[in-house]
Amino acid sequence: MKRTLTIIFLGLLVAVTANAQGGQQKPATDAKPAAKLPTVDQVLDKYVQAIGGKAAVEKQTTRMAKGTFEIAAFGASGTAEIYAKAPNKTSTVIDVAGFGVFQQVFDGKTGWSNDPQNGFREKAGAELASTKLDADFYKPIRLKQLYPTIVVKGTDKVGDKEVYVLVATPAEGSPETWYFDTQSGLILREDVEREGPEGKQAIQVFYEDYREADGVKMAFTLRQITPAFTLNIKMTEMKHNVPVDDAKFNKPEAK
């Protein structure tokens, strides 16, 4: 069980810090072409306005979020603490009741994880590239810079919401599929692949319960789904522009 939980957290803790989402990842080609689709700029501009606007996002320099998580399939639950600091530092700490503490950190240059099963492990290659991409503090307003190729594929549904489906390819890494609410402009779902020690992991991330946090709308509930299980994360507290000590991003001292 501990080994399984380790694989879960190494693969799934990425989206918590990025845009702030049962079943297998659905190919983007399932999107239905529409008679008239908006441009990429129109979809992304509406998204930025929906979360509060570029100026509001740029006013933020740090983020602190606390909450709980649950994986019902394994009877696992615990607490989550997430810290982020501009331009690209992140630290996610998951305390799993009965198993221990799992950490995922990017300090602006290097990425690493630390957990009861594997101990300290530094990231490299595709895994490091995706960690760096997800750590960009201003990612929501820098999508075109971070993803050189973005295409509007059509429309689809997320629940009862109609969405525009975009496929985005970063400079390094696998393409991602984004689902933006045609009415609100908010992102409701992402389909991504992330590298880990066990290889690629396909993940669906659903963003729910949007609330305003210091002038910017953030998803307070995230459902991360793989073919094997669902991870639910619920934020109980989220604050911006609070002091975040750089020590939170330091590697643990060698014993």
Delimit the domains of the chain by residue range: 2-236
User: What is the C-alpha to C-alpha distance for residues 238 and 67, in angstroms, rounded to an integer?
Assistant: 9
Residue 17 has pLDDT above 80, yes or no: no
pLDDT per residue over 80-117, tens digit each?
999 999 999 999 999 988 889 999 999 999 999 998 88
Angle at 235 between CA 232 and CA 240, to 5 degrees: 140
Contact 112, 122 (CB under 8 A): yes
Q: Which of 4-8, 78-82, 171-175 has the lowest mean pLDDT?
A: 4-8
Note the pTM of the prediction, 2 decimals. 0.88
Query: Position of tokens 């530094």?
Result: 122
At 215 the pLDDT is 96
Q: What is the mean pLDDT of residues 172-192?
A: 96
The C-alpha atoms of residue 41 and residue 144 are separated, in whole angstroms, by 9
Options 2.50.20.10, 3.90.730.10, 2.40.70.10, 3.30.590.10; CATH for 2-236 is: 2.50.20.10
Please name the residues in contact with 35: beta carbons below 8 A apart, sequence gap of 6 or more.
none
* pLDDT for the residue numbered 252: 82
